[in-house]
Amino acid sequence: MSDATDERPPARTRSFTRRGGRMLKQSHQDAWDRYADVLVLDVPRPPGGSTSVDPAYRVDPAQVFGRSAPMVVEIGCGSGDALVHAATQRPDWDFLALEVWRPGIGHAMAKMGEALPNVRFVEADAALALQTLLPPASAHEVWTFFPDPWPKNKHHKRRLVSPEFATTVADLVPPGGLWRLATDWGDYARAMRRVLDAHPSWELDSRERAPLRPQTRFERRGREADREIVDLAYRRT
């Protein structure tokens, strides 16, 4: 084996899998065709990076939404239950959703009766993209609801909530801003607490249900399996 092969850096540990490929159900494809040109940001990609964003690119929220308003960044909007509900309830806020799974974006858009002017999507790996995508302190709140729990011990390193990602999120919100999380896996909830309680930029603010979080399909599955739903809100110090 050559020295060049020996020096190849290891692949980055990802917190997601591309479930089910990129094919959309017809109703979701119809919604994508109807709304994507307006709602999905056309971000530049590095060579070979289908889930990455060029690190030199920055989103200007005021330019994207056409106004200055409190902005919520949702990491992994899934099928859009929380996103569409919250954007409908709070038209005075803007919502930027990062979702690596295109069918999820299509599903979210299919839940809209019409394009919501205060919603935008970025199809990208949030753990990587958020290191450079947004200006510092530009988010009013960050949401991470029901991230993949990676329940097997050998997969815990893939969990999104880590000390490194906590630092990335801390850069997104000003002092007093919130990071809202929810999970139906007790072990993951305890791991979140360990990470964020030990992080110098975060302090626990609440364990109450997030005011704008509706019951999602992930929550329903958790309750059907008799798992406790844990909500956490951490405040940026």
Q: Which of the residues are catalytic?
A: 148
Identity of the residue numbered 88: T
Q: Please, what sign has the CA dihedral across residues 92, 93, 95, 96?
A: positive
User: 202 - beta bridge partners?
Assistant: 236
DSSP letters for 24-82: --HHHHHHHHHHHHHHB------TT-SS---TT----HHHHHTS---EEEEE--TTSHH
CA–CA gap between residue 109 and residue 124 (Å, rounded): 17
Say which residue the tokens 């690119």 belong to.
57
CA–CA gap between residue 118 and residue 68 (Å, rounded): 11
CA–CA gap between residue 28 and residue 99 (Å, rounded): 15
Tally of residues, the chain: 237
Residue 196, phi-psi category: left (phi > 0), alpha (psi -120 to 50), beta (remainder): alpha
Residue 92 C-alpha from the chain's centroid: 21
